[in-house]
Amino acid sequence: MNNRFRWLVCAAALAAAVVAVPVRAQEDPPIELQVMIRLAPGYSIDAFNQQYGTQTLRSIVTRNTHLLLLPEGTNEEAWNNALRQNPPPGYLWSEINYDGQDGEGRTGSFYVAGVNARNRYGTQYSRATLRLAEAHQTATGQGVIVAVLDTGVDATHPELIDRLLPNGYNFVDDNANTLDLPDGQDNDGDTLIDESHGHGTFMAGLVAMVAPDAKILPIKVLNSDGHGDGFLFAAGVYYAIDQGADVINMSLGSTYNAKAVEEAIAEAVSKGIVVVGAAGNMAWEEPREYPAMRSEVIGVVAVDENDVKAPFSNYNRKASLSAPGVGIYSTIPTDGQGYQYAEWLGTSPSTALVSGAAALVSQRVAHMPRTISKSLAIRTALEGSSVPIDHLNLPEYERMLGVGRVDAAAAMTHDVSGTWLTGAIIRKGSLVGDGPWQGLIEVGGGQMRVRSVLAGTGNHRMDLIVDAATTIAQPSGIDLKVRSRLSVPAGTARLFLRDFTTNKWVKVDEYALGRTMQAQRVNGLPAGNFIDSAGRIRVMIRHVVTVPPASNYFDSFIDQVQVTVRQ
C-alpha cells in the first residue's frame, strides 16, 4: 500500500506506531561484498584493485578513500582481517561497509499531514521551549551554512525556496539532484514503500524555523526508504566540509561505528564545524547509534513538552543534549492532497532543532577562526546553557539524557571562556614525562602522549592536572568530559576535582580503561568548593595500571579534557 494513505492517520496511531516494539534486527547489517579502504596520499587504488581482484564502486578522491566490491563468494570479514594482518604499502585502514538509516524509518513511523499543520508550524510549543523569540534578538543564523544530510530537500517549498543553496549533492544517485523524491519502490523489503520520503524536507524546515537566516546545504545520503551506509555518510560529511558548512545535521545513524565516518567527523570538528546526530528511536540504551554517540558529536535525545524522555527515544551516558521530539510540526514535499506541512515525532526532529540552535551560536562566534576552538565554543554554549531535566525523569535515566535540554536563548549569552584548557604533566614518584607537555588538548588535533617509566613491574600511575577558569558569577554546577586511552589492555582511570576549601582532591568518577579511546562524562557536579574566588577549577586525570612483566612502561593518551560551567 502506498504510504500517502498511511500518512493521513490520527496522531494517536502515529504515536503507537513509534512506541511499538520494533520487529527488525537490533543491529544494522553489513552490505554484501562491500568494504571501504583508505590509502596514504600518492598510492593508487587501481594498483590495489589489480593486486587483490577488487573493483572500485565509489571514491572520495580528495581523501583517497574508496568503496570496493569484493570478488563473488568472498567472506568480507575474513578478507578484511587478512588484509589488516598483511597490509600492502600505503594501506591505512579498511572496514566492512554497514547499512544505516534514519530513526523514523527504522521504526516504520510516518508523519501526519493536515490542514492545521501549517499554522502549528509557526506556533508549536518547541518555539517557546527553545525561547526562539528571545534568541532571535541576538542571532538568526545570518552567514551560517547548515548541511542537512538526509533524503534530500524540496527546493520548491515556500518555507525553503530562498534558503537552499544550489551546490548540494546527491550521493545516493551520484548526481546533483537533491530533491526529496519518492521512487515508488520497497528498497529495504519491509513491505513499506518510500516510508522516509519527506524526512529531509521536514528536518530542513526545523532548521529554518530555529535559524531563519541560515542557508541550508542539501546533501542526499539516504534513499526514500531512509537507508544509506557508512560510505555515503562519510562522503556527505566530507562534501559538507569542502562546501564551507558550519553545522552538519545528521538525523540518521547506524549501530556500526564506522572508521570512515569517524575520520570525516574528526576533520569537520578540527575545522570549526559542529556535527549533530540523532540518538535513535528504539527506546533502548544499547546498541548505541553512531555517529550520535561519538564524543565529537552532539548526540540528541528526544523529550516531550514537559521535558520527560519520549517513550521511543534511545538514551545513553554518551548523549549530549535533549530537545523536543514529540508533536513537532514542519515542512514536507507537497503530497497528493496538497498538504505542505505535517506533524512527526522522533529524535530526528530533536536533532534538527539542536542544529538550528548551533547555527545561532555559530553566528555569535563568527569572529573565531575555523579551528577546533570554534566548534568547541559552540558546543560549550549549547551544553553549558542547557536546562537540567534529570529531576523530571525516572531515576534510571539519570545522566542518560545529555547534560540538559537545549535552550537557544540561554546559549546566546553563555560564557564560553576557559573551556578547552591548558594542561601540564606533573611528576609522581618515578613517572617521567615524554616532553614538556603543555598546550591545547584537542580532538584529532595533537593527541597528548605521556610515557610513564617504572624501575620494575607492578602498579604505576600517571597524573595530568588541568586548570580552567570561568567568569560566571554564580555557577550552579560543573560538567566534566575526558577522552583518553592506554597502551596496555587494562587499567583504571580516576577523575578528581580540587576542593579549594580543604585543599584536597575529591574523586568524582572511576572506570575501567584500555586500549580503545573512551570518552567519559560526569555531569551535574555541584560547583560548591570546586571553584575558587578567582573562578579557577582544577581537574586531575589519573591513569593506574599494572605494568606487565615484559615491559617497564605504559603510555597514556589524552586528547580531550572539557570543563563546562553551568550558569
551 CB-near residues (< 8 Å, 6+ apart): none
Percent of the chain with pLDDT over 90: 57
The predicted structure's pLDDT at residue 427: 28
Give the N- to C-terminal CA distance of the chain in Å, as an integer: 52
The predicted structure's pLDDT at residue 448: 53
DSSP string, 460-484: EEEEEEEEEE---SS--EEEEEEEE
Mean pLDDT value across residues 33-40: 97
Highest mean pLDDT among 116-125, 273-282, 475-484: 273-282
The predicted structure's pLDDT at residue 406: 98
Q: Decide: 88 and 43 in contact? Cβ < 8 Å.
A: no
Asked which of 124-128, 278-282, 288-292, 454-458 is least confident by mean pLDDT, the reply is 454-458
Helix %, strand %, coil % of the chain (to 5): 25, 30, 45
Percent of the chain with pLDDT over 70: 85
What Rg do the C-alpha atoms of the chain give, in angstroms?
24
In whole angstroms, give the CA distance from residue 423 to residue 336: 60
**Which residue is catalytic, options 28, 102, 150, 188?**
150
User: Higher model confidence: residue 531 or residue 359?
Assistant: 359
Instruction: Find out if CATH 3.30.450.90 is the number for domain 3-9+101-411.
Output: no
Mean pLDDT value across residues 54-75: 97
Whole-number Cα distances in Å, 274 to 12, 87, 145, 417, 553: 35, 34, 11, 18, 37
The predicted structure's pLDDT at residue 545: 79
The predicted structure's pLDDT at residue 453: 52
Per-residue pLDDT reduced to its tens digit, 39-58: 999 999 999 999 999 999 99
528 backbone dihedrals φ, ψ, rounded to 5°:
35, -125
Smallest Cα–Cα separation from 541: which of 503, 502, 498?
Answer: 498
Mean pLDDT value across residues 70-82: 95
Whether residue 287 has a cis bond before it, omega within 30° of 0: yes
In whole angstroms, give the CA distance from residue 463 to residue 396: 32
Per-residue DSSP letter, 155: T
530 backbone dihedrals φ, ψ, rounded to 5°:
-85, -5
- What are the cell numbers at 503? 585543599
Give residue 523's identity as a one-letter amino acid code.
N
94 CB-near residues (< 8 Å, 6+ apart): 35, 36, 37, 38, 80, 83, 84
The predicted structure's pLDDT at residue 336: 67
The predicted structure's pLDDT at residue 431: 28
Asked which of 75-79, 151-155, 449-453, 553-557 is least confident by mean pLDDT, the reply is 449-453
Question: Residue 379: is its pLDDT beyond 90?
Answer: no
Q: Where are the domains of the chain?
A: 3-9+101-411, 422-566
Is 28 designated active site? no
Mean pLDDT value across residues 49-78: 96
- What are the cell numbers at 397? 535515566
- What are the cell numbers at 270? 578540527
The C-alpha torsion from 248 through 254 and 259 to 261, rounded to 10°, is: -20
Question: Residue 560: is its pLDDT beyond 50?
Answer: yes
Per-residue pLDDT reduced to its tens digit, 202-236: 999 999 999 999 999 999 999 999 999 999 999 99
111 CB-near residues (< 8 Å, 6+ apart): 7, 14, 198, 202, 332, 342, 343, 344
Element spanning 557, H or E? strand 553-566
Per-residue pLDDT reduced to its tens digit, 138-184: 999 999 999 999 999 999 999 999 999 999 999 999 999 999 999 88
The predicted structure's pLDDT at residue 524: 83
Mean pLDDT value across residues 113-120: 80
Alpha helix segments (H runs only) across 157-307: 199-210, 230-242, 259-270
Helix 347-364 vs helix 372-384: angle between axes, to the nearest 10 degrees?
120
Mean pLDDT value across residues 3-11: 31
In whole angstroms, give the CA distance from residue 165 to residue 162: 8
User: Higher model confidence: residue 458 or residue 34?
Assistant: 34
458 forms beta bridges with: 547
In this structure, the chain runs to a length of 567
Question: Residue 9: is its pLDDT beyond 70?
Answer: no
Is 136 designated active site? no
**Which residue is catalytic, options 66, 136, 157, 199?**
199
Confidence band, pLDDT 50/70/90 cuts, at residue 489: confident
Which option is the CATH number for 422-566: 2.60.40.3670, 3.30.450.20, 2.60.120.260, 1.10.3720.10? 2.60.120.260
52 backbone dihedrals φ, ψ, rounded to 5°:
-110, 0
Mean pLDDT value across residues 425-434: 28
Per-residue DSSP letter, 405: B
Strand order of the sheet with strand 112-113? 112-113, 341-344, 328-331
Question: Residue 239: is its pLDDT beyond 70?
Answer: yes
Is 199 designated active site? yes
**Which residue is catalytic, options 348, 350, 452, 556?**
348
- What are the cell numbers at 266? 574528526
- Count CB atoms within 10 A of the CB of residue 440: 16
The predicted structure's pLDDT at residue 423: 32
Mean pLDDT value across residues 91-119: 86
In whole angstroms, give the CA distance from residue 124 to residue 127: 6
The predicted structure's pLDDT at residue 433: 28
Asked which of 140-154, 169-183, 340-354, 435-449 is least confident by mean pLDDT, the reply is 435-449
